[in-house]
Structure 1
């Protein structure tokens, strides 16, 4: 696939941990859902290095990116992952039993392990109930109960992507934007015909 990807200006994200970046699920790479523009790979490596310096041992777990094919080739079920400019990145978590930072994820694929709104926070999922796909992975995905959302590391990771000049847009649920005290205009509101973004952050060039 790399020769085909090169023709369309895309490079693979790593199969195994490289520059503190790895696939959350190896199937993402095996199914060729891990291709991005060279600039986005470089940015992801830079964020991985920054996070590992601040939190030794931390890695960036990437999720779906794009196929290695021409622009417009869909990466189902995603709407916009079709040009090498988009990447989903998993949140960070803490091991409840030890209180230590973990590189694991409650979900085997990253999706479905949502961090839902708390009382007093914006509740967009409840406003998008007429769109079946918005929360279709929430509630049925088998999840581990040994991990808790790591607010500090997730906040720092998102801010690290925000400060990268090449990153133009991030999608994150409004309740997490508020909880993590994120104010950047790069964080935008996605439509209800998308899927909820409280189990990952979407970054794009």
Structure 2
């Protein structure tokens, strides 16, 4: 009974983390038993082979279900990059073709306006099944959502091309200044993903948002992104929206139960 519960827990965790990892694990368990393997390293190798095969198969099958992968393999000429290979390893890099085209068009626009600028993508969606949660996000479940990193500069004001404060692009928050709008002040929701990670903040470098490029990107999203690609919403924190002078109604607050959005920009299409 314990062994069954242990395997079931691993399947659950791998499925929640990668969508297809649970299936790969079950295939690896079956293959290990059929071949009589007992050593841990041999079993791990079988799982990694099964997972790699499932991931490759997912990239081929996803277009049938209306999703395509954003590539984590970039060269020096690419202007749209995924922040870390971990997004592809966990199958979190899938979007609809419309969102992919929007992301590429944004990156091309930023390169034209600010030659050489790299636009950094973060979490997208899993390859299959509308409604399957991409934890800890509340809405990345249909291929129509994508997060971008902000554009950053160092403490001396020099632009950090392709750089982010966090190694994965998340959880390094821009703290509001005294007097800034704080829509969640005083709330203590017990069921929420609005985590502050106060203990982590001193570990991140003191980069700041590069206002010119960030404003230009949001300006393009709220104009060309809306008109040509069906962009519906952008989520950023109110204190950043005010600091950047953004008034467009497509830029909204995501609510107090969702994750903070002063470490990334969330976009979604209709």
Q: Which has the higher helix share?
A: 2
Counterparts of 2:214 and 2:244, CA distance in 1: 8
Work out the CA distance in 2 between the residues paired with 1:56 and 1:128.
43
Q: Which runs of 5+ in 1 are unaligned?
A: none
Kept in 2, the 8 Å contact 1:14–1:21? The answer is no
Do structure 1's residue 22 and structure 2's residue 81 form an aligned pair?
yes
Note if 1:60 corresponds to 2:119: yes
Which structure's relative contact order is higher, taking Cα pairs within 8 Å and 6+ residues apart?
A: 1
Distance 1:184 1:127 in 2: 27
Are residues 1:31 and 2:99 paired?
Answer: no
Q: Which residue of 1 aligns with 2:182?
A: 123
Q: Determine which of 192, 196, 200 is the counterpart of 2:264.
A: 200
What do residues 90-119 of structure 1 show as CA deviations (whole Å, max 9, x unaligned)?
00111225x321121110111111111112
CA spacing shift, 1:62–1:86, aligned 2, 3 Å: same
* Structure-1 residue corresponding to 2:69: 12
Say which SS state the counterpart of residue 179 (structure 2) adopts. Answer: coil
- CA distance in 1 between partners of 2:115 and 2:186 (Å): 39
Cα drift, residue 135 of structure 1? 2.1
1:107 alignment counterpart: 166
Residue 254 (structure 2) aligns with = 190
Instruction: Point out the structure with max Rg over C-alpha.
Output: 2
Q: Name the residue aligned to 1:74.
A: 133
Counterpart contact for 2:222–2:231, Cα < 8 Å? yes
Distance 1:78 1:158 in 2: 21
After the TM superposition, which of the residue ranges 120-129 and 7-16 deviates more from structure 2?
120-129
1:179 maps to 2:179: no
Of 149, 162, 165, which residue of structure 1 is paired with 2:222? 162
Of 164-173 and 133-142, deviating more is 133-142
CA RMSD of aligned residues (A): 1.8
- Cα pair 2:176 2:239 within 8 Å, conserved: yes
Change (3 A) 1:8 1:143: farther
1:149 aligned partner: 209
Query: 3-state DSSP class of the match of 1:203?
Result: strand
Gaps in structure 2 of 5+ consecutive residues: 1-57
Which ranges of 4 or more aligned residues in structure 1 deviate by more than 4 Å?
Answer: none
Moved more, 169-178 or 151-160: 151-160
**TM-score, normalised relative to structure 1:** 0.91
Q: What is the rounded CA distance, in whole Å, between the counterparts of 2:153 and 2:246 in structure 1?
A: 21
